[in-house]
Each structure stands twice: as C-alpha cells, then as structure tokens.
Amino acid sequence: MIETDILVIGGSAGGILTATTAKRIYPDKRVVVVRKNKTVMVPCGIPYIFGTLYDTSKNRIHDEMVKSAGVELLIDEVISIDKDKKVAILKSGEEIKWDKLVLATGSLPVIPKWLPGHDLENVFPIIKDEEYLSNMLNKLNEINKVVIIGAGFIGVEFAEQLALAGKSVTLVEIAHKILWQAFDDEFASIAEEDLESHGVTLKLGTKVKAILGNGKVEEVEFETGERVKAEAVILSMGVTPNTELAKQLGLDLTRKGAIVVDEYMRTSAPDIFAVGDCALKRDIFTSRHVPILLASTAAMEAKIAAANLYGIKFIRENRGTVSAFSTKIFGKTYGVAGIIERFAKEDGFDYVIGRAASMDRHPGSLPGAKKIEVKLIFSRTSGVLIGAQVVGGDSVGEMINILSLAIQKGLTANELNTMQVATHPLVTASPVTYPINAAALDALVKICTKC
C-alpha cells in the first residue's frame, strides 16, 4: 500500500496545479497524482491540432512540470474510494492511503444518444485523449465535408481551424446566434461574418434530426427536412461534470451533477476537496449555478484548494465565479467577462452601457493596427462594472483580464475612466482614446445625466 499525505485524482489543469501548489506550500508533505491517460492534452488547444499544429504531441502538457515540483505521478485509474478508511483502490489493484483528497476529475463530452446516427463511424465527440485525437486527426485529413454540431467556443474554433485546413465546413447551432451564451448579438454577428467570409456555412436556429449513413456518416438531416452531405460530424454540444467517484463517496451534488463545494473548495465530506470542471461554480452576481468549465477557472480553484488543505491559511473574499473567456477567430480576438447585456436584462439589473472604439496602435496607420471595440456594462445606481465585451487585435486577450479583475474588485465607471495605463505606439491604443477609459467615460456621462 502506498501512503501519502495528499492524493490528487486527475492530471489536467486543475489536478496539476493543485498538486504542484500544494507541494510548494507544504514541502514536507508527500503529494501523489493519479491520472488515467498516459499523456495530457492542453484542453483549449485541442481545436488547433486540426488546422495549425497537425500533431497531437505538440499539444501536450508535459509531465516534467509535475515531476520537477517533487510531485509523484501514477498512470492508473481510481475505481473506488473508502472515505472512512481514507483508501483509494486503483485498477491495477494498488491501494493508496491518503490524508487529504482532491477530486480533479474534469468533465465528459455530451454524447446525444437520443440522436439517430450518433454512433456511426466518423462521428467524433471531443474526447481529451491523445490516442483518440490522433486517430481523429488522421481520419479528418482524408476527408473534405465536415458538419459541426454546436457553435460554442470549441465548435467555432473547430470550424475556423478546419476551414483553414481547406475543409468544407457546416456549423450548426440550435440557437439564433453562435456563441450566444457568451456574447451579445452584435459581437456574435462580427464572428459570424468572418466565418462566412472564409467559407464556413452557418445553419443557425437549426436542430439536427438525424445523422445518416450506412455504417459511416454520409449526410446530416435537419428537422426542416433539409439534408447536407457529410463525411464526418463533430459533436460540440457541451460537457458534463465527471462525478462518478463523487457519487460513490456520497458527496453532495447539484441537480446537474456538479460537486457542491464551499469558497475553499471543500466538499461535504471532511478532508475531501474538488476543483475544476467537476466542481460547482456560482455566478459572481446572482450566486446561480453556472457551467463555467474552463482551465483558467480550474487553475484559480486549484490554488485556493491547495493553499487551504491543512486549515484556512489564506482568507479569501469569494464573490463567485466571473465568466471570463477569450477566443480568436480568423485574426480577430474576442474577450468577455461578467454578465452580457441579454442576461443583465433577463435578471432585472438596472444597468447602463458604455461603448468605445479605437485602433490598437497609435497612430492607426502603423502596420498591424486593428480596430478595438469595447462594450462595458455598469450598474446604473452604483456605477460598478458588471460585464465587459471586447473585440479586436491580440491585445484584447490581456485587456479582458484587466476587466475581469475590475469586475472581481467592484471597480466603478469613475475608477475605470481615470485608470492609469501604460501606452506605447507599437503595442497599445492611444492614451487619449484608450478604449477602457473611453467606454467608462461614455457610461459615466449617461449615469450622471440620470442623476
């Protein structure tokens, strides 16, 4: 029997960072990670295997990061856990006795077993396994017509990458817009225009009735009766928390299956923590359960759990999860944090919008300069920032991180208007028209007008 102080189950972003952080904070503790897969894929990098990297090995999170931190790694699978004896039983028959346990078991792709043809050859759910993805890459290299079902971030990124690879791509979404849960319509429309201008066919407000073929995919039929030819179908219909071990342990779960945790990532059982996709997320403003299943969120949770495994050492103000995302589609970067306007309206917020646009270099005639558009959402009475959306060049990625922090800290339109920024002609917008300041001022004028 192996005896360890800290056992982490799961070796992707959440598990890796929990283990390595715990080893730094508690250097005298033995930390063991058990993961099922021989290699770990960068989750958000998976679409780029198919149009940029063309090689799954270039999308790995390397084990050296874990081993160099002094963490022990076992390639095996935990099949059961005795929480009273604090013993985990592995598929190999080995047993591990632990003092603190962290579940970082991630998520599983939604596979629509109700959909006829979901099990045909060349129907690909997106599974985070290198061998599976390598086989998927080899098959997609040999075909031309691909239908993608689901136009969230992963579906849209797959569409872009396969189009860059020269494939004929049809992107199907049951909602009226792509990325509809992340962006307001005006931002989604920009992405739609770019996709269509690069040859991607969009089928919006469209439900798939069946995937057709004789053993192998040949067509996709919609509820309208229309059919499109397809040699492969990619299922990008979301994910669900992987909580089989949590169920065995009798941990409290939400109605949708996530593990209930407190602000320090503690579960309902003593000495058991959960981080990442398997753990509950609460919206920062409404405390509603939200499916924000991102590696960046997992990383934040991992650091919280690791720091507080042996008593609450780092008191934190946990106002909930900020929905912060970014993506890049045909040269434009999109970022979003907090509440979008559609959801603010549905939830009854009294809000005001601030908008601004500028070039991301100054002067705008500099090579590589791109237009940035910013939309900020503030509480009308308090002036507090509750949401942000940005589209433009590469600087958007870090700009949305600034705005995510601003939301977490409750900054106001006045504070963002007067925020000091470091600018340079070759790397940022002009200090005279810096878009965050300008959008905040636009909102501040509207707030003051109503005073």
Could you tell me what percentage of the chain is helix, strand and coil, using 3-state DSSP and rounding each to the nearest 5? 30, 30, 45
Q: Is 278 helix (H, G, I), strand (E, B) or coil?
A: helix
**Distance (Å, whole) CA 369 – CA 358:** 10
182's CB contacts (< 8 A; 6+ apart) are: 152, 153, 323, 325, 336, 340
**CB atoms < 10 A from the CB of 162, how many?**
23
- Other beta carbons less than 10 A from residue 73's beta carbon: 17
Which residues, in sequence order, are bridge partners of residue 202?
171
Cα–Cα distance for residue pair 63/41, rounded to 1 Å: 11
- As to burial, measured by CB atoms within 10 angstroms (0-12 exposed, 13-18 middle, 19+ buried), residue 152 is buried
CA atoms of 132 and 236, how far apart (whole Å): 16
Q: Residue 435 CA to chain centroid, in angstroms?
A: 25
Query: What is the C-alpha to C-alpha distance for residues 294 and 7, in angstroms, rounded to an integer?
Result: 22
Concatenating the DSSP letter of every residue in 304-322 gives: HHHHTTTS--S------B-
- C-alpha to C-alpha distance for 204 and 196, rounded to whole angstroms: 12
Q: Up-side HSE of residue 154: CA atoms within 13 Å toward CB?
A: 22
User: What b/e sequence results for 131-145 when a residue is b if at least 16 CB atoms lie within 10 Å of its CB, and e otherwise?
Assistant: ebbeebeeebeeeeb
Residues with Cβ < 8 Å from 28, sequence gap 6 or more?
none
Relative to beta strand 145-149, strand 232-235 is: parallel
44 is catalytic: yes
Indicate which residue of 44, 278, 448, 451 is catalytic. Answer: 44
Are the CB atoms for 378 and 351 separated by under 8 Å?
Answer: yes
Dist. CA 417–CA 413, nearest whole Å: 6
Residue with tokens 């022990």: 72
Edge-to-edge, what's the strand order for the sheet holding 6-9?
72-75, 31-35, 6-9, 100-103, 272-274
Entry field: residues in the chain: 451
Which residues are known catalytic residues?
44
